[in-house]
Amino acid sequence: AEGDPAAGEKVYKKCKVCHMVGEGAKNRVGPPLNDIIGRQAGTLGGFNYSPAMKKAGEEGLVWTEEAMAEYLEAPRKYVKGTKMAFPGLKKEQEIADVIAYLKQFSE
Ligand code: HEM
């Protein structure tokens, strides 16, 4: 189903301990997620990525909506060796919603 940005804002509560988004967003445990859609993985300047995430980006991983959906389902399976300590989101709808929320901060 289509993602709902308002529902996604609630899902984002699970992310925001580690990720800031919006004006003035800075590094937390994870990088800020402004302009994440379409960004090459592991490339935001000033954030200390894991070697695994940098390699994934160098090998061509770009955060399309599709790639992000797969990542969020099982981060440590999709990017083996990532230091993102998050088990993933179980529901497809939650994933679609949080991506719709983040899309508002992209472009
Ligand atoms: C990386 C999204 C939850 C910590 C990333 C990246 C995305 C992302 C798209 C890749 C960034 C890039 O390549 O520039 C999300 C979303 C979350 C979530 C949507 C919630 C559903 C979390 C949580 C933590 C976390 C809860 C901390 C416990 C990190 C870290 C990285 C990262 C440390 C860098 C990974 C690495 O270098 O291997 N996240 N994240 N994230 N995230 Fe998350």
Q: Give the chain's domains with CATH numbers.
A: 5-103 (1.10.760.10)
Q: Compute the distance between CA of residue 39 and CA of residue 61 in angstroms, rounded to an integer.
A: 9
**pLDDT score recorded for residue 107:** 81
Decide: residue 22, CB within 10 A, 0-12 exposed, 13-18 middle, 19+ buried: exposed
Q: Give the model's confidence band at 1: pLDDT under 50 very low, under 70 low, under 90 confident, else very high.
A: confident
- Across the range 18-32, mean pLDDT stands at 98
Cα(90) to centroid of ligand 1, in Å? 16
Cα 30 to ligand 1 centroid, rounded to whole Å? 5
Q: What percent of the chain has pLDDT over 70?
A: 100
Determine if ligand 1 sits within 6 Å of the CB of residue 99. no
Is the C-alpha dihedral spanning 61, 62, 63, 68 positive or negative? negative
**Residue range 7-15: average pLDDT?**
98
Neighbours of 15 (CB within 10 A): 21
Confidence grade of residue 64 (pLDDT, cut at 50, 70, 90): very high
Across the chain, mean pLDDT equals 97
